[in-house]
Amino acid sequence: MEKSTLIPHLFRTEYSKIVAVLCNKYGYAFLEEAEDIVSDTFLKASSAWISGNPPNPAAWLYKVAQNKALDMFRRKKIFQEKVSPYIKEQSALPQDIDFSEEEILDSQLKMMFVLCNNELPPEAQISLALKILGGFGIEEIAHAFLTSKDTINKRLYRAKQKISSHPPDFELKSPQIQQGIESVLRIIYLLFNEGYFSFSQTQAIRQELCREALRLGLLLTQNPLTNLPQVNALVALMCYHASRLEARAQSLNETTDFEEGHTQPSNPELVQKGDEYMNRAAHGRVLSKYHLEAAIAYWHTQPESEEKWERILQLYNLLLQVEYSPMIALNRTYALAKARSVDQAIKEALKIKLENNHLYFSLLAKLYESKSLKKSIEYLQKGLKLAKNEHDRVYYQKRINALKKEGS
């Protein structure tokens, strides 16, 4: 691999590993210092590798990071004052840092639980996960969340200050994992949804966000203590959704979220992968919301049939019992229209009264298409007023024009 592509590739794959291992050894109070060490390590690589890449680039990075850690501690005279209490063995020096595959995995998992901390705002958790676990740059994160680099920098600074001032004492033990796993899964879930459901970013950024969320989910499956049924269910859910990501992009301005049942998967391998993790998720007595959402996503990858929508409807019924939300109820209503009748669906939809969300009016417009074009257009116009991005506005205007033409 050429230097021009090797270093960016290694930054994305090795940055998080080195930061995680350093923090695992010296304590999470030194998260910022660990990031500085790793950034300096890559800076040195960009100049040292001009004449040629080393035989083992990753090992070179690990060694240089170790040396820089020792140099920094000596230079700042913080080794004895602040670092020693965090070192598991007082006699261990930075040269003894363990960069084995097992240590790297454990360190990354610990870092995941530390960053996905309920004491931090969700947007800070996601930004930290992208920066530290994913090796995303500030500009990439700002682009993903449609905000400025200054906003992201401030968000990350506040979050890291909170971690440094109250460094967590996390160990990969069952009780602590059970306490923190839901927070970790929630952040991975939110990260994936940011990539999958948003039409605000470029296709490349959306795929990167989905890919990173899936990578973090797969990371959890590699340790027996975190390889839990709900983890596998979330991985299955992401695989099923990701299998239709390209097809969704191609149907831009043509569909709303409710019509995704017609979007066939463009990546059969991911569907197969989803089946594999869904089977793993079936072991044990846990039935999480991720199990039910994954099952719904599975049926959305299947061809149109009466059974498909009946199964989806029943799964939404169960999901509403596990976790009620107006959006879940709205999605269930669309399934009700497909599985039973439009009249039943309209009756249920009017009970939800989600009048601050454009999708509510999008659904009502869809349901009324076969009954009253006038009402359908009125609902589309209401949805248009609430639409928050260009994709949705184009969709509504296109549907309004089509229905007006049909009614003329």
178 and 137 in a common domain: yes
Q: In angstroms, rounded to a whole number, what is the distance separating the alpha carbons of residues 295 and 339?
A: 16
Question: For the segment 215-245, what is each residue's pLDDT rounded down to a tens digit?
Answer: 999 999 999 999 999 999 999 999 999 998 8
Name which of 89, 94, 101, 87 is nearest 68 in CA terms. Answer: 94
149 and 78 in a common domain: no
Encoded tokens for 304: 């149109």
371 and 397 in a common domain: yes
385 and 371 in a common domain: yes
394 and 328 in a common domain: no
1 and 92 in a common domain: yes
Question: For the segment 159-174, what is each residue's pLDDT rounded down to a tens digit?
Answer: 999 998 888 888 899 8
Confidence of residue 35 (pLDDT cuts 50, 70, 90): very high
Query: Which residues lie below 8 Å from residue 342, measured CB to CB, with a gap of 6+?
Result: 367, 370, 371
Q: Which of 353, 377, 394 is a domain's end point?
A: 353
245 and 191 in a common domain: no
Q: At what angle do helices 174-197 and 229-242 cross, to 10 degrees?
A: 10
Query: Which residues lie below 8 Å from residue 357, measured CB to CB, with a gap of 6+?
Result: 326, 327, 330, 386
For residue 218, being part of any structural domain is answered with: no
For residue 221, being part of any structural domain is answered with: no
pLDDT at residue 118, rounded to an integer:
85
Confidence of residue 278 (pLDDT cuts 50, 70, 90): very high
- The residue segments making up the domain with residue 64 are 1-99
For residue 207, being part of any structural domain is answered with: no
What is 26-54 written as a DSSP string? H-GGGHHHHHHHHHHHHHHHHHHTTT---
pLDDT at residue 80, rounded to an integer:
58
92 and 1 in a common domain: yes
Continuous H helices in 198-228: 203-220
309 and 257 in a common domain: no
Q: Which of 153, 182, 198 is a domain's end point?
A: 198
For residue 106, being part of any structural domain is answered with: yes
For residue 205, being part of any structural domain is answered with: no
92 and 105 in a common domain: no
For residue 281, being part of any structural domain is answered with: yes
Q: In angstroms, rounded to a whole number, what is the distance separating the alpha carbons of residues 257 and 116?
A: 28
Q: In angstroms, rounded to a whole number, what is the distance separating the alpha carbons of residues 393 and 385?
A: 8
Question: For the segment 168-195, what is each residue's pLDDT rounded down to a tens digit?
Answer: 888 899 899 999 999 999 999 999 998 8
Q: In angstroms, rounded to a whole number, what is the distance separating the alpha carbons of residues 345 and 217?
A: 35
172 and 115 in a common domain: yes
Q: Which of 146, 177, 198 is a domain's end point?
A: 198
Q: In angstroms, rounded to a whole number, what is the distance separating the alpha carbons of residues 225 and 176?
A: 10
Question: For the segment 287-339, what is each residue's pLDDT rounded down to a tens digit?
Answer: 999 999 999 999 999 999 989 999 999 999 999 999 999 999 999 999 999 99
For residue 148, being part of any structural domain is answered with: yes
79 and 11 in a common domain: yes
Q: In angstroms, rounded to a whole number, what is the distance separating the alpha carbons of residues 329 and 65?
A: 51
Q: Is the dihedral of CA 122, 125, 131, 133 positive or negative?
A: negative
- 3-class secondary structure, 286: coil
Length of the chain: 408
The overall average pLDDT reported for the chain is 89
Question: For the segment 95-135, what is each residue's pLDDT rounded down to a tens digit?
Answer: 578 899 999 999 999 999 999 988 899 999 999 999 999 88
Encoded tokens for 301: 């990858």
For residue 57, being part of any structural domain is answered with: yes
What's phi and psi for 371, nearest 5 deg?
-115, -45
How many domains does the chain divide into?
Answer: 5
Confidence of residue 90 (pLDDT cuts 50, 70, 90): very low
Encoded tokens for 358: 């454009």
